[in-house]
Amino acid sequence: MVCFAVLLFHNQTSTLTFLTKQYYKVYKTSIFSSLIKEEEQPVGEVKGENLPGSENSEKSKISIQDVASMTSDAPAYATIGPCPDIPPKLVGPLRVEFDYHRSLDKVREEVAEPLQNGGRFKPTECVAQKVAVIIPFRNRHEHLKHWLYYLHPILLRQQVDYGIYVINQFGEGVFNRAKLMNAGYFEALKEYDYDCFVFSDVDLVPTDDRNLYRCFSNPRHLAVAMDKFGYRLPYNTYFGGVSSFSREQFLRINGFPNTYWGWGGEDDDIYKRVTFRGMSVSRPDLVIGRYKMVRHKRDLHNEPNPKNPDKLHMTHWTMDKDGINSLKYTVKEIVKEKMFTFITVDIQAPAS
C-alpha cells in the first residue's frame, strides 16, 4: 500500500496549501473485508450481473422515509454484521426525468431528512463500505440539483456509508477535472476514514439502482451506457463519466494526472494507469450501467485542449511523478450544506 505524508502550510490569505510526498510500505491487510469478489471482465466485453430488480421502467415507489426505516432501531447490545452484497431495497430500472422547475429547496425538502450535515449518511443496521462520492465542479448548480435528487435515494437504498463532496474550482482559469478529483480525495480523507472513492461527473444520473456505488476487487467503470452514446461504450477502453477506486487501488496508480488542462484525455490516461499497474477494469452490463446526461453546452474555459492527446504516449513514464504525489492546491472555502459538502479550491489554473 502506498502511504503519504501531508504537509500543511498557512499562507497570508489563511488558506491551506497541500504538498504531498509519496512513501511506499507493504501491508497485508485488506481495505475492506466485504469488497465484492467478482469475476473480472475482459476489456471489450460487457458481462451481466445477477442482481435483483425488474426490467420495467417504472420509477421507484419507495419513499425517503421508507428507505430511512432500514436504519431503524437495532438493539444497542446487538452485534451487527456487514451489509449484504446485494442490498434488499433495490428496485432496478428507474424513470429519470430532469424537471427544470424543481428548485434546490424542493430537492432538500424531499431527500434531505435522513442525512447528516455535509451530505453524510451511515446505515445503522449493518456495517457498510465507507464511500466518498467526489464531484469535480464549476458553475453547474442546475445540474447538481438533478444529481442530488436522484443519487441520495439511490445511495440510501444501496446501504452505503457515504459522503458527498463537491469540489469547486476557484476562479475562471482553464478547468482541470482530474486535479479537482485528486483534491477531493484528500479533502474527504480529512473528514472520515473512507476506503472507497466514487468519482462522478455532475451531469450523469444512473437509471438503475443495481449499479452499485461502491468498490470492487478491481477499479470499476460505472457509466458504461450513456444516452448520448446510444447506450453503448464509445470505445473499449473508455473510462469516462463515473468510476470507483478503493483507497489501495487509487494509491497504486498515484491518483489521477494533474496536467490535463481543458477538456479531453484524462480519462484515457487513468485507464492506462490502471492497466500499467497490472489491474483490469470491471463494469456492469449495458442495462444496469445506463446513464442519462443533463444536456448542456460546452463549459466556458473547458474547451478541448489539442495538447492533451499527445500526453497519452507518455503516461507510462509520467504516472509515477504526475499524480497525488505532486498535487498542489489551496483550500479557499468549505461550506457544509445538508445534502453535500462544497469545497472551493485554487488549483493554480492557467488563464484561458
**Annotated catalytic residue, options 263, 279, 303, 337:** 263
Residue 46 grid coordinates:
460487457
- Nearest-CA neighbor of 31 among 221, 275, 254, 245? 245
**Annotated catalytic residue, options 10, 55, 105, 298:** 298
Instruction: Give yes or no: 203 in active site.
Output: yes
| Whole-angstrom distance, CA of residue 328 vs CA of residue 7 | 11
| Whole-angstrom distance, CA of residue 184 vs CA of residue 168 | 9
Helix axes 266-276, 177-191, angle to 10 degrees: 60
Instruction: Give yes or no: 266 in active site.
Output: yes
Instruction: Give yes or no: 269 in active site.
Output: no
**Annotated catalytic residue, options 49, 201, 269, 346:** 201
**Annotated catalytic residue, options 203, 268, 269, 285:** 203
Instruction: Give yes or no: 263 in active site.
Output: yes
Instruction: Give yes or no: 279 in active site.
Output: no
**Annotated catalytic residue, options 125, 293, 303, 320:** 293
**Annotated catalytic residue, options 296, 299, 313, 333:** 296
Backbone angles phi, psi at 168, to 5 degrees: -95, 125
**Annotated catalytic residue, options 195, 209, 266, 268:** 266
Beta strands 204-206 and 225-226: pairing type?
A: unpaired
Give the number of other Cβ atoms within 10 Å of residue 162's Cβ.
Answer: 29
Instruction: Give yes or no: 285 in active site.
Output: no
Q: What is the DSSP letter of 241?
A: S
Element (H, E) at 226: strand 225-226
Instruction: Give yes or no: 267 in active site.
Output: yes
- Annotated catalytic residues are 201, 203, 263, 266-267, 293, 296, 298
